[in-house]
Amino acid sequence: MHGLRAQEEKMNNPEHDIKPYYFGISLGVNFSQYKLQHSEYFINNDTVMNVTPFWKPGFHLGITGNLRLSNFVDIRAIPSFVLREQAMRYTLRQDSIINTSFESILFSLPVEFKFKSDRQTNFRFYVCAGGKIDYDFNANSRSKRPDELLKVKPFDYGYNLGLGFEFYYPNFIFLPRLRSAMV
């Protein structure tokens, strides 16, 4: 009678860990809202009492460039196009509410350090931290139109914090992650 023995799991893409650099595709869903800064005009305005931004979903598509610095540290750049919807609620003095939403298209360039754990066969955990700069193609901060109460600056910057996992498959590596961007 033959004894049962555990089958050893085969390590997929073992050469990936020693590559000096690699490229990939980044797809994702995002949720965003504006961080408001009121102008002096807002305080003196006799019509609008309050402006409240809302969280709305969006989508991003980008390219990942990864440079290996050591066995446990990489530096990554992820230039992406971000499509998102912004929603605002204006509360007026006449006890009325106006809900508005508009689409925004951004080019985002996050650069971050990726700190990796030891690889466990076909799995690894990582955390990442870095900075980013965004350019909003729909910015209107220079607009002189009096009907535009909300002015959006074209450039924005902030920092990212995230955590994720690497799953090694025979033909590709899947890296899901959660990331929070602060501005």
Q: Give the span between the Cα atoms of 96 and 131, in whole angstroms.
A: 40
So what's the pLDDT on residue 3? 46
Low-confidence ranges of the chain (pLDDT < 70): 1-8, 37-46, 141-150
Query: At 132, phi and psi to the nearest 5?
Result: -150, 155
Predicted pLDDT of residue 120: 94
Tell me how far apart the alpha carbons of residues 40 and 28 are, in angstroms, rounded to a whole number: 37
Q: What is the pLDDT of residue 4?
A: 46
Give the contacts of 64 (CB within 8 A, at least 6 positions apart). 23, 24, 25, 26, 76, 77, 78
Say what the pLDDT of residue 96 is: 85
pLDDT score for 143: 58
Residue 41, SS3 per DSSP = helix
pLDDT at 103: 85
Residue 181, both tokens: 């961007």
CATH code for the structural domain at 20-182: 2.40.160
**Domain ranges across the chain:** 20-182
pLDDT digits (tens, 9 = 90+) for 99-149: 888 788 999 999 999 999 999 999 999 999 999 999 999 877 665 555 566
